[in-house]
Amino acid sequence: MQYLWAFLIGGAICLIGQLLLSFTRLTSARILVLFVVAGAVLGGLGVYQPLVDFAGAGASVPLLGFGNALANGAIEGAKEHGILGALSGGLSATATGISAAILFGWLAALIFRPRTK
């Protein structure tokens, strides 16, 4: 049942993104920024974490989950180290995901060769 909820919640987040692309003049880059900021705001308010607990990867993997992780890291860093922790906490909370994205992007660039159309 957990897989079903992850699929439905993750699909609903993707559906919102697609609707924004189709029916607004927002570019994909602006929608991505909107999702990260919305995840950070919802995470900072404590609204997004219950959705992550319920849907698992369906809510934590999309960009809303990245924004939530940034906000939670900044909050935890501020509790432990004050204002400097607020600045560095988000980065340390998301460092593993960012590092993995860079590594796999680099590996894909080594394996595949781009071609012009």
Q: Classify residue 47: in a domain, yes or no.
A: yes
Run of H or E including 11 = helix 2-23
What is the per-residue pLDDT across 76-113, written as a single tens digit (0 to 9) for each?
Answer: 999 999 999 988 999 899 999 899 999 999 999 899 98
Q: Classify residue 22: in a domain, yes or no.
A: yes
pTM of the model: 0.82
Question: In whole angstroms, what is the distance from residue 106 CA to residue 64 CA?
Answer: 24
What is the domain range of residue 100?
2-111
What is the per-residue pLDDT across 23-60, written as a single tens digit (0 to 9) for each?
Answer: 999 999 999 999 999 999 999 999 999 999 999 999 99
Q: Classify residue 101: in a domain, yes or no.
A: yes
Q: Classify residue 116: in a domain, yes or no.
A: no
Our count of domains for the chain comes to: 1
